[in-house]
Amino acid sequence: QDKDTSIQTRSDLTVVTAKVPTEKETEDLLFANILVKHTKSNAIVLAKNKQLIASGTGQTSRVDALNQAIEKAGTFKFNLNGAVMASDAFFPFPDCVEIAHKAGITAVVQPGGSIKDAESVAYCNENGLAMVTTGIRHFKH
Nearest to 89 by CA among 68, 70, 67, 63: 63
Q: Indicate the CATH number of 13-133 among 3.40.50.1220, 1.10.1200.10, 3.40.140.20, 3.40.50.10880.
A: 3.40.140.20
Residue 1 has pLDDT above 50, yes or no: no
| Residue 140: pLDDT over 60 | no
Single pTM value for the model: 0.91
Per DSSP (E only), the strands in 11-129 are: 14-15, 44-48, 51-56, 84-87, 107-110
- Measured between alpha carbons, how far is 140 from 73 in angstroms, rounded to an integer? 24
User: Mind listing the pLDDT tens digit for each residue in 15-68?
Assistant: 999 999 999 999 999 999 999 988 888 899 999 999 999 999 989 999 999 999
Please report, for the chain, the start and end positions of each structural domain, with discontinuous segments joined by +.
Answer: 13-133
**Greatest CA separation found in the chain?**
38
pLDDT at 24: 98
DSSP state for residue 132 in the 8-state scheme? E
Q: What is the dihedral of CA 35, 39, 110, 97, to 10 degrees?
A: -100
The residue that leads in pLDDT, 130 or 2, is: 130
